[in-house]
Amino acid sequence: MITMIEFVLTHSFQLRPDGTVGVCLRPSDATIADYISTWRNYDDITQANAELGDFILEMTPLLYADFQAMENIPASIKSIYLLED
């Protein structure tokens, strides 16, 4: 039996010398974490924290769709990931 894995994004912050913050979202599962990610820049850490939830909600279905469309990942791997509502 194949175990299904929920497609969930995790985040990391990159604090820059000028005070801006880069936020990276990527899948939480290590098997696919290096295949797909996205970044967004914010003016400061307060703004990044305040908007993080909305960023994750916005990008989860988009990154899932991009992941499912990737030709360099076998269908057998893509088929075990699911997107919960």
State pLDDT tens for residues 47-69.
999 999 999 999 999 999 999 99
Number of domains in the chain: 1
- What is the domain range of residue 15? 5-82
* 54 secondary structure, DSSP code: H
The reported pLDDT for the residue numbered 14 is 98
CB-based contact 11:25 (threshold 8 Å):
yes
Residue bearing the bigger pLDDT, 12 or 84: 12
pLDDT tens per residue, range 25-55: 999 999 899 999 999 999 999 999 999 999 9
The reported pLDDT for the residue numbered 2 is 75
The reported pLDDT for the residue numbered 71 is 95
CA distances, 44 to each of 20, 28, 41, 60, 73 (Å): 5, 24, 9, 23, 36
